[in-house]
């Protein structure tokens, strides 16, 4: 199996929240897409690992991804180590994604920035011929970092206006997280999930304003991007 785009996410629902519109847009263009969830979200306040896996499967169908895998690494305990890197690298060799999207390298949740470091190093070692992983060596061409969840100005943004409502459907497929029973909504603790779906919508509008569209998803790259035609660059300066 060869994928054109693979989103590596710490938890089920992260890919939908940060890159769901991009996945939909890329799939509509005829590319093969996939999601690799590192954990099952088992330490979350709401839902169970089994419920979240079913929700992830439903959301993946809405997004039209060709492959969705879950490595079952420990939720809230992700860390940079050889065992976890090798597990991700094996999947990269199997799926052979040309482009990989990772979480932004800083953030509130330790699993998110740990996933960024794990994903980057896994992409690197997957291409080492003498690194014993099984399968043929393979290294993605491009690594993007999703700006969502972070206070970071994107390098570029993807117009997802046409796919925004389907992205929202994919997010809300996680009923246990965003449409919980009243008894769970009335817990005497603040749960960031209670406002997360709405906040992601506001952020998509903010990224959209940056490029003159209604909704967008933002990304960063660490390397300089090449431009061949400076006359026809999109997005007005003034």
Query: Which residue, among 221, 220, 212, has the nearest Cα to 161 in the 3D structure?
Result: 212
pLDDT attached to residue 175: 87
Cβ-Cβ contacts under 8 Å for 129 (sequence gap 6 or more): 137
Whether 231 has a pLDDT exceeding 90, the answer reads yes
Distance CA 55, CA 40 (A): 11
Domains, the chain: 5-220 (3.40.50.10320)
DSSP string, 30-87: T--EEEEEEE--TTSSSS-HHHHHHHHHHHHHHHT-SEEEEEEEPTT-----HHHHHH
Whether 189 has a pLDDT exceeding 60, the answer reads no
pTM for the model: 0.92
Helix axes 164-172, 193-211, angle to 10 degrees: 160
Q: What is the pLDDT of residues 54-100, one digit of tens each?
A: 999 999 999 999 999 999 999 999 999 999 999 999 999 999 999 99
């Amino acid at each position: 199996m060869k994928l054109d785009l693979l989103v590596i996410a710490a938890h089920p629902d992260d890919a939908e929240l940060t890159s769901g519109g991009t996945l939909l847009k890329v799939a509509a263009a005829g590319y093969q897409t996939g999601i690799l969830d590192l954990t099952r979200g088992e330490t979350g306040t709401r839902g169970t690992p089994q419920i979240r896996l079913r929700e992830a499967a439903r959301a993946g169908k809405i997004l039209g991804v060709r492959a969705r895998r879950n490595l079952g690494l420990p939720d809230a305990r992700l860390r940079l180590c050889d065992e976890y890197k090798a597990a991700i690298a094996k999947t990269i060799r199997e799926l052979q994604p040309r482009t990989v999207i990772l979480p932004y390298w800083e953030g509130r949740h330790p699993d998110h920035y740990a996933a960024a470091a794990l994903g980057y190093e896994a992409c690197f070692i997957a291409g080492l011929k003498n690194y014993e992983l099984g399968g043929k060596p393979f290294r993605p061409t491009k690594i993007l970092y999703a700006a969502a969840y972070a206070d970071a100005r994107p390098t570029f943004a993807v117009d997802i206006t046409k796919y925004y409502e389907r992205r929202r459907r994919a997010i809300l497929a996680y009923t246990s997280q965003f449409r919980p029973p009243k008894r769970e909504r009335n817990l005497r603790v603040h749960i960031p999930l209670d406002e997360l779906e709405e906040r992601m919508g506001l952020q998509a509008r903010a990224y959209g304003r940056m490029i003159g569209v209604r909704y967008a998803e933002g990304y960063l790259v660490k390397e300089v991007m090449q431009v061949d035609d400076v006359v026809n660059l999109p997005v007005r300066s003034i």
